[in-house]
């Protein structure tokens, strides 16, 4: 394994990891940052895949603006995912 | 006139929508009138296109940017698209009239823009001849639909809209994966060229791609069990928008599904996809009808009925026979008329009496006789009573279904139709034979629309010949893929 | 040949005009005119159809890509004429009883529907008009009762859709929808056998359901009592007299179109064609069950509703015998049932109009107050009970003869039992309504209005004419059934018996004259308490007070207790309840409001797609 | 069943799609579901670009002596440009709907957002 | 309990779906030349559109219709957000001013960021980038302003009008193409008038691509800032 593809693998791995974190973190602000990180790593991958236009767009729109909008939305709602109490029937809760 | 001018169908609503911010200050009435004018012009253009296509018998191919098809994006306004673009325009026009009564929530200027863009999206979805362009127009349609669903800004509206967004988002993502696969396998995005090359694609890729594309479109086309967003969205959306959803937004999705399905008919596993779709469509009909049975909210009830009828159309399209497609197109037209009528009537009642609960419909025959009459005719037509238009298309669909060998599907669909009859006649009984009420004055333009639609329903019911021949042409436009490929002036790139 | 179209659509157009104008007087005039047109056209074609050189009048139109064929041939002329006769009577009746343009519209629409069913020469038209007729009659019921109407409609629609599927199967196999082609193809296929047995059986079953519902065959009869009672009674004359005949016509069609194929597919059992035997037994069961139920009713409308079901059972039975003689009897009974039952319902209409009452216990002694109506009802009673020289006797006699000569003794027994039951309930009607003590609130009851009487007369005359001269009918029917019945106008000759109607009539008149003389000169009145008629030594208590007017047949009900526990009606109600609960379950379960569940549905579909791709 | 031989980029793209879908299927917070959708969209974009990639070729910008036959497929890149913008549009719409929803319901838990049902 | 079951079921489901997708993708091998129409674009992009950046040429010229739709989608989003978060009167609610670093940095950076955005979309046909990233960059500048100053607001009336006008501009450019060249969105500057044919690779080339990209850049910038504005402000009671 030469280390050019090595970098690809590392970036992909980190991207997947940040995606997992974005999904699993209960703090939504952190999750939003994780999502932005996913976009950022994706944009690096776009660059590696010879798509500079897309990389720029993804970095500007996908990472920065989406993240910002998400953070604004979180500010206007609630920051933490709440632990749900088990009220309705199993079918609904499921 | 040059056929390229058909691109005005896309340009006009766009221009119209972009112009709205400039006249924002003129007040509600001015903006509504403006929308009315734009839709009227659009109807005129669509009528011209329709006349062109049906008199020459040749489709209009609009080549954007002057590039020939596989290079540029083309609009394919064939028999089906010409017909349906006209229906989209007319339905929008009628609902633009309804806007005057039904829409009171601010900001009207945004509503006007979204209204025009919804019309644009459906027009584009029907007219386009490029699979990615289809995705773009689908997104235009669905994002507009999300926004309009939530337009009333109540909690319910936002809830319905969010449900729609989440399901629609999943659907469109998978649609895009499908497009990516097909693109990767063929190297082109033009529908005609894809159809040409479909036979050579690696079977696994073709199967996955086709399945994903159909999946994505089925969310838009409200097939069971992907239609869970639909009743909520129908119920929560402003009344004219609900009518538009039912009259053409769903149809656009259905059409796109049918179009892509038949384009890919040389794919090996095609028949399995059809079988799956038949199952889904049949279940759509059954589940939706049963769900409507004990519904207290009339708007929601009619929404379920609409879903079931859409399932019937999907069933017809999924049969894979010419007869089925013709019948499906016929049902599409009839259904558009009926549902425009019903949602208009129910929406008007809801506006006047403050809600679409069944209690408000008691004694409606005395309170708002013309509207009540319109709803009654719509209901009877939807059940499939002879002398009304749906009878013919339903008959056609059942015959085609049995002919294609899906007798069980015909059984289930008809059993569901019995249920449909029950709830519709309960509604009719509530309207005419229960409750008392004082006469409320009805708005003249709306009454005129209701009466016009009723006349249309009955006229088609008594004399379906013209519309049937039109639907046959439109149906063969979808079914006859070889002709479609021939009609698109493909440039010999790569092939 | 546009007369066929005129005749077909004149009632509908008239109905629309009547409905749209909604002016008292004009409405009625237009309505009556609309019903008279078809009768006129039919009369005009009599010579063409029944002449020495019969022709078939055909008219073809193309609607929505379907070729609709309308034919006036010997059979359709016969059925259409009966329907128009009742239709005219109904229109006259409605002049008196109906105050609603709504009723005129749908009554006339159903008239068009019935005519269309009889005239159609292809399945699309047949189905169209079948639906139209069902829908129009349903709307008539809907006005009075939602529950009964929905019961009627759901059953009818199930029948109609069953028919649609059967049509679809035939279309898929044969590729045609017109009767001529289908008949030929199935005839050929009886030999070739390319349509499988099970499919043929399925088609037969579907058609059986479709026509059985309309004809009210047990166990699909449950709509009839409610629907017949909950409309304007003048319309019921048409409803029961003509609409139910569409079912009978359907069965006849089954023979014409599929007879050979059905015999080939379902075989022969003890010299009887199996499919035909099924129909015969269906008819026999209907006759008996509905007869018993009719006897037990306390409401005259319900009584006649069940009686109607029972009488249509005779028609099915006659058709089921499957011999030309059987057909003759059945078709004759179509006529006689139409005229006597139509007459009955008009009488009921008059009673309801003048008294506003429907239960036996509220009636009594009306013969003096409404003498003409009484005379009419007497004719109807005689005809229904099968007493010569009325039309009802001739037709029942023919069916009986046919059953005997076809060696179906059990079925013949059903005919006998049915006749006895019919006698039992009409006697009660005759006595309880017309004779005996008159309740005080009926003192100022007037004779029925003139239009209603005209309507009754229109139906009473054929009862007598075809009763005295049954040969008129048998000769006409013989044209396409191969003259199974000999004799002349007044005399019917079958392989097993002879019935001379004229002689019987003369004898009857003579006998009545003698009886009258005896009555006038020798009768003594004797006063007895009402409660005394029928107790057989039982002590009279408040809750076991049986009289002609109240609970007269209660002992019978007690005897049949075991069987009455099982009610098809309740069975269907429960079924409907289950369906509704299922609907709720489905709705609440599937559309549970949780968007995550909805997302799961998407995932499951993807999973199915994936599994189907992977495996 | 054999393990399909796909490249790391495809793997990454599919993983993103599945993780996003997982969030929609399991997480009960609406915003979390929307984050999932967003991640899904990124995954789809990555997939499209990977499909258009050709080993050893350069970006489709034909200046500075890059010949046409040395460039990767430009079409998927054009598509992804569109798709990204559509994605951000959807995200903005969903988030504003979520804000409205929160204003009315006071919660973002999907199990409590069930006023419309049946 | 239910939740664990649900998670595991979800994972199993997703793995199967993923396996299926991977199977499909295995038929579209990575890194191989699968182009069909792509070759045509690469071969003819320079003489047909005058743009060096093939992606830009495709986005704006060959598949201009998509881009028109894309612009519309963004417009819809901004309109929709505006409609959903509409209040009769709304105001910013942020309490704290940005830190001194942020405010000074913003003051310094904003003009450059805007200039950079403009550069990106003007040079779209030559270098990577174009209207969308350029517009987004401009929006980022406004975002910075919002973060740094509590009282800052964009002039929304003007922005909304700009959105509309710019959008109309795009459609009108297309319609001029219809009038001049006979096709909607026809590149009349390059193909009919033939401007800039000797300038390929320099700024004044590429037919109408720069024009459209400027329009798109402005539109995206205003729309995204509008969205940010709408998200940040909350309604106040009058």
What domain range includes position B307?
A: 269-485
Give C 99-158 residues with CB within 8 A of chain A. none
CA distance linking residue C505 with residue B485, whole number of Å: 82
Min Cα separation D101/chain E (Å): 10
Closest-CA distance of chain C to residue B464, Å: 5
What is the band of E127 on the pLDDT scale with cuts at 50, 70, 90? confident
d(CA E200, CA E206): 7
Can you give the pLDDT at residue C317? 85
Please calculate the CA angle B251-B476-B342 and round it to the nearest 5 degrees.
30
Q: Is there a contact between E234 and E91 (Cβ–Cβ < 8 Å)? A: yes
Do residues C168 and B405 lie in contact, with contact meaning Cβ atoms separated by under 8 Å? Answer: no
Judge whether D116 lies within some domain: no
**D115 located within any domain:** no
- pLDDT tens-digit profile of D49-96? 888 888 878 777 776 667 777 788 888 888 888 888 888 888 888 888
Residues D53-84 as b/e (b if ≥16 CB within 10 A, e otherwise) read bbeebebbbbeeebebeebbbbbbbbbbbbbb
Inter-residue contact B67 to E192 (CB < 8 Å): no
Has residue C555 got a pLDDT over 80? no
Rounded-to-integer distance, Cα C263 and Cα B464, Å: 39
Number of domains in chain B: 1
| Region C41-67 average pLDDT | 79
Higher pLDDT, C563 or E79: E79
Tell me whether residue D110 is in a domain.
Answer: no
* CA gap D43, D47 in Å, rounded: 6
Report the alpha-carbon distance of residue C557 to residue E202 in Å, rounded: 105
CB atoms within 10 A of CB C194: 9
**E13: distance to nearest CA of chain C, Å?**
6
Residue in B150, B165, B179 closest to D90 by CB:
B165
Convert the pLDDT of each residue in B46-69 to its tens digit.
999 888 888 888 888 888 877 878
Distance, in Å, from the CA atom of B396 to the CA atom of A63, rounded to the nearest integer, reads 53
* CB contact (8 A) between residue A91 and residue C592: yes
Does the bond joining C607 to the residue before it have cis omega, within 30 degrees of 0? Answer: no
Q: In this structure, what token pair is assigned to residue C342?
A: 């139509």
Neighbours of chain D (3+ CB pairs under 8 A): A, B, C, E
**The dihedral of CA A50, A54, A60, A61: what is its sign?**
negative
pTM for the full predicted model: 0.91
The predicted-structure confidence for B397-444, as pLDDT tens digits, reads as follows: 888 898 888 889 888 988 888 888 888 888 888 888 887 878 888 888
53-112 in E: which are within 8 Å (CB) of A?
53, 55-56
Instruction: Please tell me the number of Cα atoms within 13 Å of A7 on its side-chain side.
Output: 8
The H-assigned helical ranges of D1-118 are 8-26, 30-52, 74-105
At B40 the pLDDT is 92
C577 — pLDDT class (breaks 50, 70, 90): confident
Q: Beta partners for B77?
A: B60
Comparing CA positions, the residue from C133, C279, C147 lying closest to residue C572 is C147
Percent of chain C with pLDDT over 90: 0
The tally of CA atoms less than 13 A away on the side-chain side of residue C592 is 21
Q: What is the pLDDT of residue B43?
A: 92
And the tokens for C222? 């449950």
Chains touching B (3+ CB pairs < 8 Å):
C, D, E
* Amino acid B495: pLDDT: 43
Q: Is C610 on the interface with D (CB under 8 A)?
A: no
How far away is chain B from the Cα of D64, in angstroms, using its nearest Cα?
A: 25
Nearest to C289 by CA among C208, C360, C220, C383: C220
Domain ranges of chain A: 26-78
Give D41's contacts in chain E (Cβ within 8 Å).
Answer: none
Residues 6+ apart with CB under 8 A from B22: E161, E164, E165
Q: In chain B, which residues have their Cβ closer than 8 Å to the Cβ of E76?
A: 113-114, 117, 140, 143-144, 147
For testing the chain D interface, which of C585, C587, C593 should be mutated: the one with the most D CBs within 10 Å? C593
Contact with chain B for residue C598, Cβ under 8 A: yes
Q: Give the CA dihedral B27, B28, B33, B39, nearest 10 degrees.
A: 120
Distance from CA of D50 to the nearest CA of A (A): 7
pLDDT tens track for E173-204: 888 888 887 888 887 777 777 777 777 767 77
**Whether A61 and E136 lie within 8 Å, measured CB to CB:** yes
Q: Does residue E56 register a pLDDT over 80?
A: yes
- Name the residue of chain D whose CA is nearest to C590's CA: D118
Of E226, E231, E215, the residue nearest E160 (C-alpha)? E226
- Say if the Cβ atoms of B294 and C165 lie within 8 Å: no
Contact B440, B21 (CB under 8 A): no
- Averaged pLDDT for residues B302-307: 90
Distance CA E45, CA E38 (A): 10
Mean pLDDT, to the nearest integer, of C138-153?
84
Q: How far is B276 from chain D (nearest CA, A)?
A: 23
pLDDT tier at B320, thresholds 50, 70, 90: confident
The pLDDT-based confidence of C541 (bands split at 50, 70, 90) is: low
**More reliable by pLDDT, C532 or B139:** B139
Measured in whole angstroms, the distance separating CA B231 from the mean position of its chain's CA atoms is: 15
DSSP conformation class of B25: G
CB C384 within 8 Å of CB C341: yes
- pLDDT tens digits for range B3-44: 778 888 888 888 888 888 888 878 888 888 888 999 999 999
Q: Rounded to an integer, what distance in angstroms lies between the CA atom of residue B262 and that of residue B475?
A: 11
The reply to whether D28 touches chain C by the CB within 8 Å rule is yes
Confidence of residue A86 (pLDDT cuts 50, 70, 90): low
Residue E118's Cβ-side half-sphere holds a number of Cα atoms within 13 Å equal to: 6
Name the residue ranges covered by the structural domains of chain E: 1-34, 35-235
Give the closest residue to C381 by CA, choosing from C415, C425, C421, C447.
C425
Residue of D nearest to B170 (CA): D37
Cα separation, C125 vs C60, in Å, equals 11
Tokens of B224: 């069971």
Sign of CA dihedral C263, C267, C271, C274: negative
Query: Above 70 in pLDDT, residue A85?
Result: no
Contact flag E76-B114 (C-beta cutoff 8 Å): yes
Query: How close is the nearest chain C Cα to the Cα of E227, in Å?
Result: 26
Residue C415: CB atoms within 10 A of its CB come to: 27
Q: Where are the domains of chain C?
A: 1-265, 267-526, 568-614
Residues in B touching D94 (Cβ below 8 Å): 146, 162, 165-166, 169
Q: Find the closest chain D residue to B147 by CA distance.
A: D93
- Do residues B428 and B376 lie in contact, with contact meaning Cβ atoms separated by under 8 Å? yes
Q: Tell me the C-alpha distance between C197 and C182, whole Å.
A: 17
Q: Copy the structure tokens of residue C612.
A: 């189907």
Cα–chain center distance at C297: 19
CB B73 within 8 A of CB B129: yes
Distance of alpha carbon E13 from alpha carbon E2, whole angstroms: 16
Nearest to E19 among C603, C609, C614 (CB): C614
**Interface test mutation site (partner D, options E4, E17, E19, E21, max chain D beta carbons within 10 A):** E21
Q: Which residue has the tokens 């749908």?
A: C106
Measured in angstroms, the CA of C588 and the nearest CA of chain D are apart by: 5
Complex ipTM more than 0.95, yes or no: no
- The mean of the pLDDT values for chain E is 81
Residues 6+ apart with CB under 8 A from C311: C287, C333, C337, C341, C384, C422
How far apart CA C273 and CA C281 sit, in angstroms, is 12
Min Cα distance D2 → chain A (Å) is 22
**Residue D111 located in a structural domain:** no
Q: What is the average per-residue pLDDT within C473-486?
A: 77
- C127 dihedral zone (left: phi>0; alpha: psi -120 to 50; beta): alpha
Tell me if E13 and C611 make a contact (CB, 8 A cut-off).
no
* Cα–Cα distance for residue pair C458/C452, rounded to 1 Å: 10
The answer to whether the CB atoms of D114 and C593 lie below 8 A apart is yes
Q: What is the C-alpha to C-alpha distance for residues C82 and E82, in angstroms, rounded to an integer?
A: 71
Nearest to E149 by CA among E238, E235, E232: E232
In-domain check, residue D79: yes
B44: CB partners within 8 A, 6+ apart: none
Shortest CA distance to C70 belongs to which of C41, C47, C35, C108? C41
Residue whose pair of structure tokens reads 């023979």 in the numeric block: C255
Task: Round to whole Å and give the CA distance between E50 and E38.
Answer: 17
DSSP sequence for C107-164:
HHHHHHHHHHHHHB-BHHHHHHHHHHHHHHHHHHHHHH-HHHHHHHHHHHHHHHHHHH
Q: Give the three-class secondary structure for B491.
A: coil
Q: Say how many C-beta atoms besides its own lie within 10 A of residue C35's C-beta.
A: 27
Mutate to test the interface with B, among E23, E29, E35, E37 (most CBs of B within 10 A): E37
- pLDDT of residue C499 exceeding 60, the answer is yes
Helices (H), C175-299: 179-192, 197-215, 223-229, 233-238, 244-266, 274-295
B283, part of any domain: yes
pLDDT at C228 over 80: yes
Contacts of D14 in chain E (CB under 8 A): 18, 21-22, 25
In a domain, B319, yes or no: yes
Count residue pairs from C and E with Cβ separation < 8 A.
25
Q: What is the DSSP letter of C542?
A: S
- Considering only the beta carbons, identify the residue of C587, C594, C614 that sits closest to D110: C594
Domain count, chain D: 1
Q: How many CA atoms lie within 13 A of C276 on its CB side?
A: 30
């Amino acid at each position: 394994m030469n280390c050019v593809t090595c970098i690809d693998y590392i970036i992909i791995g980190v991207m997947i990891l940040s995606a997992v974190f974005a999904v699993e973190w209960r703090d939504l602000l952190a999750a939003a940052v994780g999502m932005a990180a996913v976009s950022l790593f994706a944009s690096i991958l776009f660059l590696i895949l010879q798509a500079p236009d897309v990389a720029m767009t993804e970095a500007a729109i996908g990472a920065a603006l989406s993240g910002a909008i998400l953070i604004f939305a979180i500010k206007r709602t609630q920051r933490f995912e709440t632990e749900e109490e088990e009220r309705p029937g199993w079918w609904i809760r499921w | 006139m040059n056929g390229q001018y058909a691109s005005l169908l896309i340009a006009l609503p766009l221009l119209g929508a972009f112009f709205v911010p400039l006249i924002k200050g003129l007040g509600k009435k001015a903006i509504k009138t403006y929308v009315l004018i734009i839709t009227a012009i659009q109807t005129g253009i669509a009528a011209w296109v329709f006349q062109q296509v049906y008199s020459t018998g040749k489709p209009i191919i609009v080549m954007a940017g002057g590039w020939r098809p596989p290079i540029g994006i083309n609009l394919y306004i064939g028999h089906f698209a010409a017909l349906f673009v006209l229906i989209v325009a007319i339905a929008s026009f009628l609902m633009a009239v309804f806007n005057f009564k039904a829409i009171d929530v601010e900001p009207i200027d945004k509503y006007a823009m979204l209204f025009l863009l919804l019309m644009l999206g459906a027009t584009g979805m029907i007219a386009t001849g490029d699979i990615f362009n289809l995705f773009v127009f689908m997104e235009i349609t669905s994002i507009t639909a999300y926004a309009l669903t939530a337009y009333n800004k109540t909690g319910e509206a936002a809830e319905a809209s969010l449900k729609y967004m989440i399901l629609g988002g999943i659907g469109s993502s998978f649609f895009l994966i499908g497009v990516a696969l097909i693109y990767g396998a063929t190297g082109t995005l033009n529908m005609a060229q894809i159809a040409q090359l479909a036979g050579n694609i690696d079977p696994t890729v073709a199967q996955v791609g086709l399945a994903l594309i159909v999946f994505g479109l089925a969310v838009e086309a409200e097939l069971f069990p992907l239609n869970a967003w639909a009743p909520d969205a129908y119920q929560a959306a402003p009344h004219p928008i609900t009518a538009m959803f039912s009259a053409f937004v769903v149809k656009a999705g259905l059409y796109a599904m049918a179009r892509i399905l038949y384009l890919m008919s040389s794919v090996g596993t095609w028949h399995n996809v059809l079988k799956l779709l038949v199952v889904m469509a049949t279940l759509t009909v059954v589940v939706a009808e049963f769900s409507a049975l004990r519904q207290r909210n009339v708007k929601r009830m009619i929404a379920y009925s609409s879903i079931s009828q859409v399932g019937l159309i999907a069933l017809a399209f999924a049969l894979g026979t010419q007869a089925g497609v013709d019948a499906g197109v016929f049902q599409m037209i009839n259904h558009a008329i009926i549902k425009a009528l019903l949602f208009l009537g129910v929406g008007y009642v809801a506006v006047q009496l403050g809600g679409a609960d069944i209690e408000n419909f008691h004694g409606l025959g005395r309170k708002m006789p013309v509207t009540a009459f319109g709803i009654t005719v719509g209901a009877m037509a939807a059940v499939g009573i002879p002398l009304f238009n749906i009878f013919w298309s339903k008959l056609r669909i059942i015959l085609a279904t049995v002919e294609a060998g899906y007798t069980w599907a015909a059984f289930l669909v008809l059993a569901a139709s019995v249920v449909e009859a029950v709830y519709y006649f309960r509604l009719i009984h509530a309207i005419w034979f229960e409750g008392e009420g004082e006469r409320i004055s009805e708005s003249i333009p709306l009454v005129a629309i209701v009466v016009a639609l009723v006349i249309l329903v009955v006229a088609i019911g008594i004399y379906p010949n013209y519309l049937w021949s039109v639907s046959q042409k439109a149906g063969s436009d979808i079914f006859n893929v070889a002709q479609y490929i021939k009609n698109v002036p493909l440039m010999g790139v790569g092939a | 040949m546009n007369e066929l179209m005129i005749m077909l659509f004149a009632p509908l157009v008239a109905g629309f005009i009547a409905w749209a104008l909604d002016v008292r007087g004009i409405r009625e005039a237009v309505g009556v005119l609309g019903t008279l047109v078809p009768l006129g056209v039919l009369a005009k074609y009599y010579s063409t159809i029944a002449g020495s050189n019969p022709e078939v009048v055909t008219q073809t139109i193309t609607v929505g890509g379907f070729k609709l064929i309308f034919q006036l041939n010997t059979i359709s002329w016969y059925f259409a004429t009966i329907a128009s006769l009742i239709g005219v009577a109904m229109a006259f009746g409605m002049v008196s009883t109906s105050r609603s343009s709504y009723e005129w519209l749908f009554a006339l629409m159903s008239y068009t529907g019935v005519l269309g069913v009889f005239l159609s020469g292809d399945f699309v038209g047949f189905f169209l008009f079948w639906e139209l007729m069902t829908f129009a009659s349903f709307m008539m019921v809907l006005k009075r009762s939602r529950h009964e109407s929905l019961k009627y409609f759901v059953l009818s629609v199930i029948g109609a859709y069953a028919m649609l599927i059967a049509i679809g199967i035939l279309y898929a196999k044969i590729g045609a929808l017109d009767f001529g082609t289908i008949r030929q193809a199935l005839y050929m296929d009886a030999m070739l056998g390319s349509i499988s047995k099970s499919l043929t059986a399925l088609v037969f079953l579907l058609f059986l359901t479709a026509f059985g519902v309309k004809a009210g065959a047990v166990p699909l009869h449950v709509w009839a009592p409610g629907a017949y009672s909950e409309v304007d009674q003048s319309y019921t004359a048409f409803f029961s007299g003509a609409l139910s005949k569409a079912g009978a016509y359907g069965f006849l069609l089954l023979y014409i179109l599929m007879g050979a194929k059905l015999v080939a597919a379902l075989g022969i059992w003890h010299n009887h064609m199996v499919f035909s035997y099924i129909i015969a037994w269906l008819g026999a069961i209907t006759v008996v069950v509905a007869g018993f139920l009719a006897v037990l009713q306390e409401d005259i409308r319900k009584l006649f509703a069940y009686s109607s079901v029972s009488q249509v059972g005779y028609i099915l039975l006659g058709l089921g015998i499957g011999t030309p003689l059987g057909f003759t009897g059945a078709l004759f009974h179509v006529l006689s049932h139409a005229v006597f039952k139509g007459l009955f319902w008009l009488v009921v209409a008059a009673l309801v109009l003048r008294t506003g009452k429907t239960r036996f216990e509220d009636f009594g002694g009306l013969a003096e107050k409404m003498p003409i109506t009484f005379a009419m009802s007497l004719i109807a009673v005689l005809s229904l009970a099968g007493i010569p020289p009325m039309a009802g006797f001739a037709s029942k006699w023919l069916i009986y003869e046919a059953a005997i000569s076809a060696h179906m003794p059990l079925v013949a027994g059903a005919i006998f039992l049915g006749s006895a039951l019919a006698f039992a309930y009409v006697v009660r009607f005759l006595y309880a309504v017309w004779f005996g003590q008159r309740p005080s609130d009926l003192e100022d009851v007037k004779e029925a209005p003139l239009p209603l009487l005209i309507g009754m007369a229109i139906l009473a005359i054929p009862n007598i004419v075809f009763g005295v001269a049954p040969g008129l009918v048998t000769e006409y029917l013989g044209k396409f059934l191969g003259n199974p019945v000999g004799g002349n106008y007044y005399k019917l000759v079958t392989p097993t018996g002879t019935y001379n109607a004229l002689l019987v009539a003369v004898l009857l008149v003579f006998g009545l004259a003698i009886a009258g003389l005896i009555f006038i000169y020798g009768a003594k009145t004797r006063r007895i308490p009402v409660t005394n008629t029928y107790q057989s030594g039982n002590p009279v208590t408040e809750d076991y007070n049986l009289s002609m007017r109240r609970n007269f047949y209660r002992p019978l009900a007690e005897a049949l207790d075991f069987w009455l526990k099982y009610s098809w009606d309740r069975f269907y109600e429960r079924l409907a309840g289950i369906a509704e609960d299922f609907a709720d379950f489905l709705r609440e379960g599937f559309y549970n409001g949780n968007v995550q569940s909805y997302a799961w549905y998407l995932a499951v579909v993807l999973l199915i797609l994936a599994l189907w791709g992977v495996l | 069943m054999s393990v399909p031989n796909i490249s790391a980029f495809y793997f990454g793209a599919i993983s993103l799609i599945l993780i996003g879908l997982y969030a929609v299927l399991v997480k009960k917070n609406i915003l979390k579901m929307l984050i999932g959708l967003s991640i899904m969209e990124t995954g789809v974009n990555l997939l499209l670009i990977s499909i258009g990639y050709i080993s050893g070729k350069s970006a489709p910008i034909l200046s500075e002596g890059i010949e046409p036959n040395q460039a990767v497929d430009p079409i998927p890149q054009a598509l992804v440009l569109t798709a990204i913008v559509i994605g951000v549009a959807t995200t903005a719409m969903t988030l504003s709907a979520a804000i409205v929803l929160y204003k009315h319901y006071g919660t973002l838990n999907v199990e409590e957002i069930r006023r419309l049902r049946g | 309990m239910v939740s664990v079951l649900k998670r595991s079921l979800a994972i199993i489901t997703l793995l199967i779906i993923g396996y299926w997708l991977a199977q499909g993708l295995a038929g579209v091998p990575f890194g191989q030349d699968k182009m069909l129409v792509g070759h045509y674009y690469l071969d003819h992009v320079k003489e047909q559109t005058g743009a060096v950046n093939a992606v830009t040429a495709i986005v704006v010229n060959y598949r201009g219709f998509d881009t028109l739709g894309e612009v519309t989608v963004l417009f819809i989003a901004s309109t929709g957000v505006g409609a959903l978060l509409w209040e009769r009167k709304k105001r910013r609610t942020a309490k704290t001013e940005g830190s001194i670093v942020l405010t000074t940095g913003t003051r310094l950076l904003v003009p450059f960021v805007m200039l950079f955005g403009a550069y990106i979309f003007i040079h779209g046909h030559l270098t990577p980038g174009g209207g969308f990233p350029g517009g987004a960059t401009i929006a980022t500048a406004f975002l910075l302003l919002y973060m740094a100053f509590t009282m800052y607001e964009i002039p929304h009336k003007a922005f909304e009008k700009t959105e509309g006008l710019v959008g109309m501009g795009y459609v009108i450019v297309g319609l001029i193409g219809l009038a001049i060249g006979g096709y909607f969105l026809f590149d009349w500057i390059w193909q009919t008038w033939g401007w800039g044919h000797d300038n390929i690779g320099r700024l004044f080339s590429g037919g109408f691509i720069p024009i459209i990209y400027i329009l798109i850049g402005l539109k995206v910038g205003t729309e995204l800032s509008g969205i940010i504005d709408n998200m940040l402000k909350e309604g106040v009671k009058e």
